[in-house]
Each structure stands twice: as C-alpha cells, then as structure tokens.
C-alpha cells in the first residue's frame, strides 16, 4: 500500500480514529494487526518472513541474556544471525550469486547448466530484518535488556509507517514508547500532518516529475542524448532519489507522530556535505549508524592503525552497497564511496599537516564532494555496469553523445529550485539563522495550504514507485 495513494489515506484515517479510542494494550494490538494488514496489501505470502524474524530475535534475545557462559551467548547470537541473514540471502541475493557464478564460469569456458530461481523479492525485507536483528545484537552487546512482551516486540518490528523502507529504528528507541501511555496532543497531530505533506510533496511533485520528464527517458537510452542533457539528468537523479527517499522518511515520521511516537530522522540535508564522511552522516542516517555500530566498530573502527582504519571504512561502504541491492552496480557504488572516503581522509590529513585548513577551502570541498557523489549516483541508477560506463563516458566525450536533448521546462527548474530552498533552509537552521517561532506559527497554515494545492494540481499523471521499496 503506497503512502501516496487515496487507499492509504482511508486506511490511516480508520486506524487513527480507532487507535485514539483505545487503551494502551489494545492500541498496541491494533497497531500490530494494522501493520500486518498493511503488509498484506503488498503480498500476504511474505507475512511468514516477518513472523520468523520476530520470533527468532525475540526468543534469541532472551536466550542470549539468560546464557550462563560466553560460549552459549555466542551460539545463540550466531543462530539469530544465521536465521535472519539466511532469509535475506535467499530472497535477495540467491539469483545474484547464481548469475555471477554462471558468468564467471563462462569466462573460463566451463560448461555449467544454467540455473534460474524465480524468487520474488519481499518488499522491505532488508529493513525489518536489520531492525529486528539489532535487538539481539544490542542485548549481546549489553546495550539492552530483553523485552518481556512478545506483543510489544512484534509491534516494534512490524510498525507499518516505517516497515517497508525505514527509518531503521532501534529497539531502545521505540520499545519504551510502546510501554508508555500515549496521550493525544493536537500539536503532535499538526506536526505529523505537516511532515507527511512535506514528504508527499517531495515524492509526488519533485521526485515523480523529475523521473517522468527527465531522468527515466535519459537513463533508458543515454547514447541518444547530448552531453549537456546527460549532466542535467545526472543532477536530476541526485535530486530525485533524495526527494523520493527523504519524502518517504518524512511521511513515515509524520504518521508516527500522529500516532504519538517519535522515530529517528533519516536525512540531514546531505547535499550540504563538504566531505564524503559528512555525506554518510547526513544520508540515510539510520542505515549509516547501523553499519557503523555492527560492521565498522566490530572490525576495529578507528582504534587500529591508520591503514586498518581505511580498510574498515572501505569494507563498510562496500557492504552497504551490497545491502542496497543484488547487482554489481550497487556493489561498485558502495566500493566507489569507500574509495572516496579513504581518499578524503588522506587529503584531509595532508591538508592539516600543510595547514591548508581555512574557510576558503569549504566551497571547493563542497563542490567536488557533490560532483563525485553524483558520478556515483550514475552507477546506482544504471541497469548494469556497461550502461553506467557509457553514461559516464558520454558526459565527457561529446563525440559519443547523441543528438537529442531535453528542454529545461519551468516545471523541471522549479523541482531543482525547491531542493535548493530545502537545503538553504537546512543551512540557515544549522547556523541558527532562523525566523522567530511566532512568525513560523502564522506562516505554517499558509505553507500547508500551498502544499495541498501544489500536490493535487502539480503531480504528474504517471506515478513512480518509491525507489527504496526495491531494497
């Protein structure tokens, strides 16, 4: 069930009305039932996967906490990880590894019978498995005590606003909210509606418009378009994926607020970043901190030598690339960001020794960071590596570019301008250059009214699915 549909609006209105007329225990039961119904609209057959993840991590967490020896604790943790990663590996990566193995065999002229598994990727599997698995991992690390109620834990894992595309919420951030009494507050409702409408605007106006009128036509046939159009579409995709994913996150946060919950922010104006580490601290922040806490730090983090730290950083981004999808384009995208981060660390160390640090270096640092981030987005968006190679080559070699071009309409220009304003607001917010709360209070109704008008009159007829639903 897509957030940007009338069907979801009706569904949420019914849940909202019933929810605020129930007591806490029955509220949680309603949320669990609504979440399972919400996921059933995608494909009811895969509800069993959510149940397996819930049960394995709930009881696994208890057994880890009750284990009397380190060996037993390790065994229970390994079992939890094995169950969850096996589900993820089969449904998300089985075809990828089979196809890669067959391609490698063909390179060496080995005759291997072709094998194809017709596996449907369950929507949101990467998100809810990582979310439930973090519960067992945090208990093992001593960061959390076991949850005593299966109902509350199941509601935490299956909570429908962020079930299929995050943010990835930690148990310690959410379970205590399920245990507390929730009181309806009009201010939370107002803030939730504002966040939801802001996310809806980003998705259906900015992201979908750029997809339909610019990005999809160019990326589907990059050889047919001029270099200038390829550059425009590359920047367009950078804005599209930001508006699409941060729009979903805003809608999820807004829905949670309307139900009395606070879930973590997922984006912090990533295109303000002046280095690649900063970009990852601003982009899909809940995923970044997951890999930081459960991959980077266990490998040694920055506690080892400088060279080992570089390897840890590169490995973490490589794994995050593979998490995004079962394709070499995602692996290379993650690996490329690993190269970026390692190179930026080396350059940063050199500039500090040479005393090149100054305010003047921030503008070129920002420029080159964002340009190289956009180059990597070409890998992320392309169907395969040869397509990405052709696209990147045609950016610089005009002889290889096609004769077609896409005129920059006022509508496309407004999509770009909207994200610039969004990030300008973020810049002023970070610098504490904000208008008074009283002015914002009077401005908010006009802002909401404008959002509603633009959403219903400015959205393209052809809607695109959320990009991160495929992960």
Q: Which 3-state string (H, E, C) describes 304-361?
A: CCHHHHHHHHHHHHHHHHHHHCCCHHHHHHHHHHHHHHHHHHHHHHHHHHCCCCCHHH
Q: Which residues are catalytic?
A: 324
What Rg do the C-alpha atoms of the chain give, in angstroms? 23
Res 146: pLDDT: 87
**CA 292 to CA 313: how far, in whole Å?**
9
- Neighbour-count burial of 142, counting CB atoms closer than 10 A to its CB (0-12 exposed, 13-18 middle, 19+ buried): exposed
Res 35: pLDDT: 94
Res 148: pLDDT: 74
**CA 297 to CA 316: how far, in whole Å?**
10
Strand partners, 404: 225
List the domain boundaries for the chain. Answer: 6-182, 188-470
Quote the DSSP letter at residue 336. H
Res 110: pLDDT: 67
Res 358: pLDDT: 53
Res 115: pLDDT: 54
Residues 6+ apart with CB under 8 A from 110: none
CB atoms within 10 A of CB 54: 21
Query: What is the three-state SS of 387-446?
Result: HHHHHHHHHHCHHHCCCECCCCCHHHHHHHHHHHHHHHHHHHHHCCCCCCHHHHHHHHHH
- Look at residues 173, 369, 141 and name the one whose alpha carbon lies nearest to residue 285: 173
**3-class SS of residue 230:** helix
pLDDT tens string, the chain, 471 residues long: the values are 788 888 899 999 999 999 999 988 899 999 999 999 999 887 788 899 999 999 999 999 999 999 888 999 999 999 999 999 998 888 887 777 777 666 666 666 666 555 555 677 788 888 899 999 999 999 999 888 887 789 999 999 999 999 888 799 998 889 989 888 888 999 999 999 999 999 999 999 999 999 988 999 999 988 888 888 999 999 999 999 999 999 999 999 999 999 999 999 999 999 999 999 999 999 999 999 999 999 888 888 777 777 888 888 888 998 888 888 878 899 999 999 999 998 888 877 665 554 555 555 778 889 999 999 999 999 999 999 999 999 999 888 866 667 777 777 888 888 899 999 999 888 888 877 765 566 666 677 777 777 778 777 777 776 677 777 766
- Look at residues 237, 273, 243 and name the one whose alpha carbon lies nearest to residue 392: 237
Res 456: pLDDT: 78
Query: In this structure, is the dihedral angle defined by the CA atoms of residues 279, 282, 283 and 287, taken in order, positive or negative?
Result: positive
Quote the DSSP letter at residue 148. S
Residues 6+ apart with CB under 8 A from 328: 100, 384, 385
Output the CA–CA distances (angstroms, integers) from residue 94 to 108, 116, 251, in the order listed.
Answer: 22, 9, 32
């Amino acid at each position: 069930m897509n957030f940007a549909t009338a069907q979801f609006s009706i569904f949420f209105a019914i849940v909202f009305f019933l929810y605020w007329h129930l007591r806490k225990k029955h509220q949680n039961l309603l949320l669990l039932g609504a979440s399972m119904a919400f996921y059933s609209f995608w494909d009811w057959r895969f509800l069993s996967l959510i149940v397996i993840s819930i049960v394995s991590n709930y009881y696994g967490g208890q057994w880890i906490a009750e284990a009397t020896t380190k060996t037993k604790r390790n065994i229970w943790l390994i079992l939890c990880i094995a169950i969850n990663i096996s589900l993820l590996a089969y449904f998300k990566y089985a075809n990828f590894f089979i196809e890669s193995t067959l391609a490698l065999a063909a390179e060496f002229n080995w005759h291997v019978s072709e094998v194809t598994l017709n596996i449907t990727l369950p929507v949101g599997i990467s998100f809810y498995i990582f979310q439930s698995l973090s519960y067992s991992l945090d208990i093992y690390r001593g960061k959390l005590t076991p949850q005593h109620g299966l109902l509350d834990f199941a509601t935490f894992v299956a909570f429908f606003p962020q079930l299929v595309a995050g943010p990835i919420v930690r148990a310690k951030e959410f379970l205590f909210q399920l245990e507390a009494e929730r009181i309806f507050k009009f201010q939370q409702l107002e803030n939730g509606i504002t966040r939801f409408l802001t996310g809806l605007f980003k998705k259906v106006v900015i992201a979908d418009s750029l997809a339909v009128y610019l990005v999809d036509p160019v990326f589907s046939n990059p050889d047919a378009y001029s270099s200038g159009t390829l550059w425009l579409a590359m920047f367009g995709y950078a804005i599209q994926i930001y508006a699409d994913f941060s729009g979903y996150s805003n809608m999820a946060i807004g829905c949670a607020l309307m139900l009395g919950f606070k879930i973590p922010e997922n984006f912090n104006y990533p295109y303000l970043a002046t280095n690649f580490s900063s970009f990852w601290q601003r982009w899909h922040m809940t995923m970044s901190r997951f890999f930081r806490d459960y991959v980077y730090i266990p490998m040694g983090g920055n506690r080892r030598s400088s060279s080992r730290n570089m390897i840890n950083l590169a490995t973490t981004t490589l794994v995050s690339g593979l998490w995004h999808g079962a394709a070499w384009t995602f692996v290379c995208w993650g690996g490329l960001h690993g190269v970026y981060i390692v190179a930026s660390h080396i350059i940063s160390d050199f500039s500090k020794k040479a005393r090149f640090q100054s305010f003047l270096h921030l503008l070129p640092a920002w420029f080159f960071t964002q340009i190289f981030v956009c180059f990597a987005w070409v890998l992320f968006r392309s169907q395969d590596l040869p397509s990405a190679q052709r696209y990147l080559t045609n950016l610089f070699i005009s002889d290889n570019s096609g004769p077609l071009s896409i005129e920059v309409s006022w509508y496309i220009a407004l999509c770009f301008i909207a994200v610039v304003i969004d990030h300008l607001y973020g810049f002023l917010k970070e610098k504490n250059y904000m208008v008074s709360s009283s002015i914002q209070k009077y401005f908010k109704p006009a802002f909401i009214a404008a959002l509603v008008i633009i959403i219903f009159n400015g959205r393209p007829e052809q809607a695109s699915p959320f990009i991160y639903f495929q992960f």
